[in-house]
Amino acid sequence: MQCVFTPPDFRKKEKLPSITLNVVHAIEVCDGIEEPIEWLLLTNLPVNSFEEACEKIEWYTRRWGIEIFHRTLKSGCKVEERQLGSAERIKACLAIDLVVAWRVYHASRLGRETPNLPCTIFFSEDEWKALMSYKSRSTNFPDEPPTIREMVRMLASLGGFLGRKGDGEPGAQTIWRGIIALDYITSSYQIFAKKNTALFSTDTYG
């Protein structure tokens, strides 16, 4: 289906051209418990088949993730507040911030979509052991690492996530704060925990 949009009356003097857009109407198929999502998408891209309509819907589903990614850059990494004096310095800083924002978003998605996988798919051994030591005040680790969901929730708790029954899953903001804190915790673990292990090992004293 196509629709033709004409310029608004207050801009007639500009003699703007009309715009022809394709319309994609999508309704979610669900179990009837929740109200289905309904979208009316307008696009200037070709939609001449059911497959092309599904393609445009799939593209639109990416929008929320992109918005979360940019919100993490803006609110978490504070990219708009950078005052570095030159474009080259801003580019270098943005390159680092983009990696941080991607890591935050990726961790939140893994915690939701693959909750039972081991956390080692994302975190290093030092990171998960450092966080568990910090939370439990102990260096007695389980035989298996925690799941990615458990690790993400522990991480988010460093950033203010309370984990109450009605809180749902942690968001990008608390995960971002948690990752910043985890960097310091991991550095301390690598310095002190491993140093103490070396000091009191039988290899050191025979």
pLDDT (mean) for 58-63:
88
Average pLDDT value for the chain:
84
Name the token pair of 106. Answer: 């990726």
pLDDT band at 171 (very low <50, low <70, confident <90, very high): confident
In the chain, where the domains are located: 2-61, 64-205
Q: Could you write out the DSSP letters of every residue in 93-136?
A: HHHHHHHHHHHHHHHHHHHHHSTTSBGGGTS-HHHHHHHHHHHH
Cβ neighbors of 103 (< 8 A, separation 6 or more) are 179
**How many percent of the chain have pLDDT more than 70?**
92
CA distances from 49 to 1, 38, 72, 148, 186 (A): 11, 20, 36, 40, 53
Residue 146 has pLDDT above 70, yes or no: yes
Once rounded to an integer, what is the mean pLDDT over residues 40-59? Answer: 92
Looking at residue 194, its pLDDT comes to 62
pLDDT at 141: 87
Return left, alpha or beta for 137; rule: phi > 0 is left, psi -120 to 50 is alpha, else beta.
left
Handedness of CA 12, 16, 17, 20 (dihedral sign): negative
pTM: 0.62
Query: Which region among 21-25, 99-103, 193-197 has the lowest average model confidence (pLDDT)?
Result: 193-197
Architecture field, domain 64-205: Orthogonal Bundle (1.10)
Per-residue pLDDT averaged across 1-22, rounded?
Answer: 88
pLDDT of residue 205: 36
